[in-house]
């Protein structure tokens, strides 16, 4: 699809109102089923970092996050020490929030424990809640899309039991949208129609 064709297409309202990074993320990633473990972990960390902020800000800092967090490799993040945390807190290219940085480290440890305990990672764990088939919602407007659901409540609760942090139900529903567990592209969106 050419740049002009993409410009002419109708997107979900949040992407239409956003900048070029929002549009690109919407068109190429958001709502597409993701099964790659590193990508799933990256999105979990980024959704936690986004709490209370805009997704546009996270997208602008995404490359910096990848560099600062060793390309989101859980084994590396799980062993971050006080020196690494100090370096992250002084890195203006990322969100410098001690609780969120500590949560990323905690989540890396919880992720590794999840893999060991259940013989699979986030892919197997998360997608089993929906029998490995994305939920196809049929929203006409962005106002109809919920901030959380009973399913995101349940997944949030289960992740917390496993030791994950910054995984409240609203964060988890946004995560489910991002990794394509739910298709929340509005009915008039060209990505939905594709």
Enzyme catalytic residues: 25, 47, 55
DSSP per-residue string spanning 109-167: HHHHHHHHHHSS-HHHHHHGGGTTS-EE---SSGGGS-S--HHHHHHHHHHHHTT--S-
The span from the CA of 41 to the CA of 74, in Å, is 8
Q: 145 exposed, middle or buried (CB, 10 Å; 0-12, 13-18, 19+)?
A: middle
User: How many Cβ atoms sit within 10 Å of the Cβ of residue 147?
Assistant: 10
The span from the CA of 17 to the CA of 96, in Å, is 26
DSSP state of 182: E
The dihedral built from the CA positions of residue 30, 108, 171 and 35, taken in this order, carries a sign that is: positive
């Amino acid at each position: 699809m050419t740049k002009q064709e993409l410009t002419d297409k109708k997107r979900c309202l949040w992407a239409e109102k956003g900048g070029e990074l929002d549009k690109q993320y919407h068109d190429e990633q958001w709502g597409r089923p993701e099964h790659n473990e590193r990508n799933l972990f990256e999105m979990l960390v980024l959704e936690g970092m986004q709490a209370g902020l805009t997704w546009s800000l996270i997208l602008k800092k995404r490359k910096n996050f990848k560099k600062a967090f060793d390309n989101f490799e859980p084994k590396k993040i799980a062993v971050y020490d006080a020196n690494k945390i100090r370096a992250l807190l002084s890195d203006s290219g990322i969100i410098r929030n001690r609780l969120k940085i500590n949560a990323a480290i905690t989540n890396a440890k919880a992720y590794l424990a999840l893999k060991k305990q259940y013989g699979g990672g986030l892919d197997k764990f998360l997608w089993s809640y929906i029998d490995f088939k994305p939920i196809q919602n049929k929203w006409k407007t962005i106002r109809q899309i919920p901030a959380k659901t009973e399913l995101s409540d349940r997944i949030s609760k289960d992740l917390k039991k496993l030791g994950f942090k910054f995984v409240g139900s609203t964060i988890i529903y946004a995560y489910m949208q991002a990794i394509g567990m739910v298709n929340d592209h509005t009915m008039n969106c060209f990505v939905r129609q594709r």
